[in-house]
Amino acid sequence: MVPHDYHIHTHFSCDSNASMISMCRAAIEASIPEIGISEHFDLHPKDAYAGFFNADKWWEELRRCQKEFHDVLLIRAGIELSEPHCYPKAVEQLVQNYPWDYAFGALHRVGDDLVFEEAYFNRAEQTAYADYFTELQRMIQSGFFDILAHMDIVKRYGFEKYGRFDPENYEEQIRSILQTLAHRDLALELNTITLRRSIKETSPSKQILQWFREEGGQWVTLGSDAHSPEEVGLGIEKGLSLIQSSGFENLASFKRRKPKRSPLP
Ligand SMILES: [Zn+2]
Ligand SMILES: [Zn+2]
């Protein structure tokens, strides 16, 4: 059973063509009781899609879907903030102006470099990962968000260049990030998109989930990072078993930016 899928994109994100209704129907077909729609909010000036997200139109559509499916599907209002620490004013405004259920903090860039592009990996393996985690620590210090999205997503392309990513080589840095999250009572997302890529493991992997538990982490969420209806809920059952075997007894369910314990099925 899939309890929730908190990471779903629609055509309000620059990299998806899916209608919101089609994503909701896919969740209902997969018997998922609760989902979160979380579009990209990108502001980097080099990004062709910076400013793409239209919050007013999105909220209109979300309300329509919530109304239409209210008896079969709980639809949360999420947002995926890219590098929120770099754009404090715009992010604060967006976060405060609407009644979000949760905000993801997502690091897709280190400085100007997108970690989904080859240019980022024109550095030694150790540096590519260490630079990413250093920037991630900066992002977490800034606040603004509730859930850290796909915390080691840099490994998605790193894997193709350097081979398997071993978190133990960066244990000190990663644990320090997890500690900060735990102290701030923030959640960690287990994202399953990387199960569908050549690396074939979740982001983050089980080792990092275990460290988060050891560092006092309380809250975890699950997301497929679906960009099309066929992807809704993919990998969530596998993610659930990793969460369970890492010592967590609950998932976090978010409403108006407050987490609540939701027992694992
Ligand atoms: Zn992302
Ligand atoms: Zn995403």
Nearest ligand to the C-alpha of residue 224?
A: 2
**Phi, psi of 186, deg, nearest 5:** -95, 165
For each of the domains in the chain, give its residue range(s) and CATH number, in order of start. Answer: 4-263 (3.20.20.140)
Tell me what pLDDT residue 1 has. Answer: 86
Q: How far is the CA of 73 from the centre of ligand 2 (A)?
A: 21
Our CA dihedral for 82, 84, 88, 92, rounded to 10 degrees, sits at: 90
* Other beta carbons less than 10 A from residue 202's beta carbon: 24
Q: How far is the CA of 113 from the centre of ligand 1 (A)?
A: 15
Please check whether residue 247 is in contact with residue 213, taking contact to mean a CB–CB distance below 8 angstroms. yes
Tell me what pLDDT residue 51 has. Answer: 84
Tell me what pLDDT residue 210 has. Answer: 98
Angle between helices 125-141 and 171-183 (to 10 degrees): 10
Tell me what pLDDT residue 142 has. Answer: 86
Nearest partner of 149 among 139, 160, 157, judged by Cα: 139
Nearest ligand to the C-alpha of residue 14?
A: 2
* Distance of alpha carbon 209 from alpha carbon 232, whole angstroms: 22
Nearest partner of 59 among 39, 81, 87, judged by Cα: 39
Tell me what pLDDT residue 68 has. Answer: 98
Mean pLDDT by 10 residues, the chain (265 residues): 96 96 98 98 86 96 98 98 96 97 98 95 97 97 94 97 97 98 97 97 98 98 98 98 96 98 91
Tell me what pLDDT residue 50 has. Answer: 83
* Distance of alpha carbon 147 from alpha carbon 254, whole angstroms: 10
* Distance of alpha carbon 100 from alpha carbon 96, whole angstroms: 8
Tokens representing residue 249 in the block: 């007894």
Ligand 1 (ion): which residues have CB within 5 A? 106
Nearest partner of 94 among 56, 65, 68, 63, judged by Cα: 56
